[in-house]
Amino acid sequence: MKNRLKVLRAECDWSQQHLADALGVSRQSVNAIETGKYDPSLPLAFRISDLFALPIEAIFLRN
Amino acid sequence: MTSWNNLAPYMRRYTVRVLLFMASYMLILTSSLTFARGSTEHSQATLIGLALISALPIIGVFWAIFRLLVEIDDEYQRLLFAKQTLLATALTLVTVTVWQFLAVYDVVASGPEWMGAIWFAMLGVAGPFARWKA
H-helix or E-strand spanning residue B65: helix B44-71
Residues of A in contact with B79 (CB under 8 A): 38
**B125 and B101 both lie in a single domain:** yes
Rg of chain B (C-alpha set): 18
pLDDT tens-digit profile of B40-78?
889 999 999 999 999 999 999 999 999 999 999 999 999
**Residue A48 covered by a domain:** yes
**B79 and B13 both lie in a single domain:** no
- Cβ-defined contact of B75 to A41 (cutoff 8 Å): yes
B77 CB within 8 Å of a chain A CB? yes
Can you give the residue range of the structural domain that contains B16?
1-73
The domain tally of chain B equals: 2
Q: What ipTM did this prediction achieve? A: 0.90
**B16 and B81 both lie in a single domain:** no
Can you give the residue range of the structural domain that contains A39?
2-54
**B95 and B65 both lie in a single domain:** no
Q: Mind listing the pLDDT tens digit of every residue in chain B (134 residues)?
A: 568 888 889 999 999 999 999 999 999 999 999 999 988 889 999 999 999 999 999 999 999 999 999 999 999 999 999 999 999 999 999 999 999 999 999 999 999 999 999 999 999 999 999 998 77
**B68 and B78 both lie in a single domain:** no
Q: How far apart are the first and last CA of chain A?
A: 6
**B87 and B38 both lie in a single domain:** no
**B78 and B129 both lie in a single domain:** yes
pTM for this structure?
Answer: 0.87
Residues of A in contact with B134 (CB under 8 A): 28, 32, 37
